[in-house]
Amino acid sequence: MLFNLNEFLISISFALDFVELDLTGATTNHSKRVSYICYKIGENLGLTKKELYDLTALSILHDNGVSEKSLHDKLLGSNLENFTLIERKKEHCVASENNISSFPFNTTVKNVLLYHHENYDGSGYFNIERNDIPLMSQIIHFADILDINFNFENINKEDQNKIFAFINDNRNIIFSDEVTNAFLNISEHKSFWLDLKRMFITTALKNLIPLYAVECSFKDIRNITKTLSTIIDSKSPYTQLHSSELAIKVAKLSKYYGYNEEDTYELIIAADLHDIGKLAVPNSILDAKRKLTYDEYELIKEHTYYTRVALQEITGFENIVEWASNHHEKLDGKGYPNGKDHDELDFNSRLMGCLDIYQALTETRPYRPSLSHKAAMKILNDMKNDGLIDPSITADIDYILQ
C-alpha cells in the first residue's frame, strides 16, 4: 500500500497531545504548534524539503518520552507545571531519542532529540554548546520553550512584544542568533500567529508538511508501529507488555486461521495501536489499587473513542481503525464506546476483543495478580455464555493459548 507518513505523523501528534490531556486536563496541541514553528524557522534558514520533513517529524515526536510513567511518578495533580517539569527531565530526552530508532527519516538525525533541551551556552543537561548542538535540536528547543512559556491561543500585540523581549534577552544564552533571527523574520506575518490558534493549527500543519508517502507492506509499517506501542505501554508499569503480548497472540491466532502475511500484519498493527487512546487516561486511574468510582470508569471507557480519533485519518488504515477501536464492544450491544452489536462487529473485531480480555486477565494489575490460563478461560467462558463475546473464538483461544 501507499503509506502516507504525513497522515501518520498527524495521528502521532494527536496521540502525544493525549498525554497533555492527562497531565494538564486539556489538549493544547503542543506537538503540532512546536512542529509548525520549527518548520517555519527551518524554511527560513533554507533547509531542504527532506530536512524540513525530518524536522517536522522530530518536532512532533519530541515529547514521545513524556508518556513514561517513571517521569511523572512523583508529580501530584494535573496542571501545566507538571507537564513542564517532565519536559525538563533529562530522562525524557534519552527516552525520546531511543524510541524513534525505527522511524523512516530521510536524513541523519542522530542525537537530535537527545539534545533537544541543550542551551546554546552549554548549560543544558549534556553541556553541549553552540554549533556542537545539532541545528534541528536548536530549532526544536526554541519552539518548545516558546510554546510552554507563552499562550499562543489568545495572543495580542503586548504578548508578542513579551515574546520578542524574551528571545532577545536569551540570545547566545539559550538560543543562537541564527535561530532567533529566523523566528523574528517569520513572526512578521499575521498568518503565522493565526495558524497557531487551536482551530487552525492542524490544517496549517497539514498544508506545510512536505508530502512523504512510501510504497510499503503492512509488515514494513509494523516496524514503525511496534515502537509506538512501546510508547503507549510505557505509560503504566502494569501495561508495559500489554500491546506487544497482544500482538504475539494475534499472530498465533492469525496463523491458526490461515491468514496471509498482509492480513496478519494488519491485525498486528491494530494490536500495537489499540490502546493509543489510553495516553489520555490519568495514571491515578490506570494504577489504582481500589475499585474505581463511576466517573473514573466512565473516563477509562473514553480511551477507545480516542483511539479512533487518533487513527481514522490514516489512508489505508480503515480496517485497523475498526479492529483497534472496537476492542471493548460486546455482541449484546452493551459495550463501548459505540454500543455495536453482533451484526456490526466483524470477525477480526471480535477476535481483538476476546484476545484483549484474555491478555488483560493474564497480566498483573494493581488490584489483583495475573490469572492462570484456566482462571482466565473461566471468565471468558462465562462471558461467552452471557452472549458478550464470540463462542468459536473463545474456544480457539483455549485451544491455541493453553
Higher pLDDT, 214 or 26: 214
Domain stops at, among 213, 238, 261 = 213
CATH code, domain carrying 283: 1.10.3210.10
Tell me the average pLDDT across 291-297.
Answer: 90
Q: Which of 91, 361, 344 is nearest to 234 (CA)?
A: 91
208 and 314 inside one domain: no
Full domain range(s) for residue 295: 220-401
263 and 303 inside one domain: yes
Residues 18-77 have pLDDT tens digits of: 776 666 555 578 889 999 999 999 999 999 999 999 999 999 988 777 665 444 444 334
177 and 272 inside one domain: no
374 and 244 inside one domain: yes
Domain stops at, among 188, 213, 238 = 213
Q: Which residue has the cell 530536512?
A: 51
| Percent of the chain whose predicted confidence (pLDDT) is above 90 | 63
309 and 388 inside one domain: yes
Q: Which residues contact 240 (CB under 8 A, 6 or more apart)?
A: 233, 234
Domain stops at, among 213, 234, 257 = 213
Question: How many domains is the chain built from?
Answer: 2
Say which range, 101-115, 120-134, 160-174, 226-240, has the weakest mean pLDDT: 226-240
147 and 12 inside one domain: yes
> Is the model's pLDDT at 202 over the cut of 80?
yes
The model's pTM: 0.85
234 and 181 inside one domain: no
204 and 225 inside one domain: no
Buried-state track 211-245, b at ≥16 Cβ within 10 A, e below 16:
ebeeebebeebbebbbbbbbbbbbbbebbbebbbb
Q: Which amino acid is at 322?
A: E
Question: What pLDDT, on the 0 to 100 scale, is given for residue 78?
Answer: 43
